[in-house]
Amino acid sequence: SQQGEEDPQALSIQEGENATMNCSYKTSINNLQWYRQNSGRGLVHLILIRSNEREKHSGRLRVTLDTSKKSSSLLITASRAADTASYFCATDEGDFVFGPGTRLSVLP
Amino acid sequence: GAVVSQHPSWVICKSGTSVKIECRSLDFQATTMFWYRQFPKQSLMLMATSNEGSKATYEQGVEKDKFLINHASLTLSTLTVTSAHPEDSSFYICSGRGQGIYNEQFFGPGTRLTVL
């Protein structure tokens, strides 16, 4: 198993700004997923990007994957207060192991 | 994506009792199921991996006699917390993975266990 590591661990921005979070991993992957978790709640799947993809969009979310650098980024555009949550990346190598997450706070 | 359900969504029990949590894959066959635990403000930590019909593989530091996992069918796995204590209070999340070539894994909504 391997762990994704998110960066930064905490991020505070104003509503309307963009938020960028990064994730790094150590070995080869088949896919990488980003999840959101509101405080005390379950995981919400945001987006999955496969190893042969470089960029993927879903609404205000944009995910990039650079397999040569073993890193991924999640961009949330035009952030809203409702985007306040913890964001995790998870990679696979037989099983998923989550990184510590980025706690995003969007201030109104 | 596929759907995984957990039951119950929350449970409160007395110290010393056992609690069973169910994890079901609703629209796919989960050949592998995973159980995670999450303490407040921390990330999810993998507890164990189970393949249908086989004994679960536990991560280091997880007591297999305390956290009993059964994966008797391709759509159901159960986690039983035996003789629960307050330190077992946590958020327990399961996930299921089918046999797709991309290893896609789908997570349940989690079960919040509070041991008094």
- How confident is the model over A49-96, as pLDDT tens digits? 989 999 999 999 999 999 999 999 999 999 999 999 999 888 765 455
Phi, psi for residue A85 in degrees, rounded to 5: 180, 180
Question: Which residue matches tokens 């999340």?
Answer: B93
* Beta-ladder partners of B110: none
Would you call B1 and A30 a contact, using CB atoms and an 8 Å cutoff? no
Half-sphere exposure of B111 (CA within 13 A, CB side): 26
- How confident is the model over A29-47, as pLDDT tens digits? 888 888 888 876 777 888 9
pLDDT attached to residue B2: 66
Inform me whether the C-beta atom of residue B109 falls under 8 Å from chain A C-beta atoms.
yes
By the 10 Å C-beta count (0-12 exposed, 13-18 middle, 19+ buried), B33 is classed as buried
Phi, psi for residue A82 in degrees, rounded to 5: -70, -10
> How far is it, in rounded angstroms, from Cα B25 to Cα A102?
28
- How confident is the model over B28-40, as pLDDT tens digits? 888 889 999 988 7
Would you call A43 and B91 a contact, using CB atoms and an 8 Å cutoff? no
Residues in chain B closer than 8 A to A58 (CB atoms): none
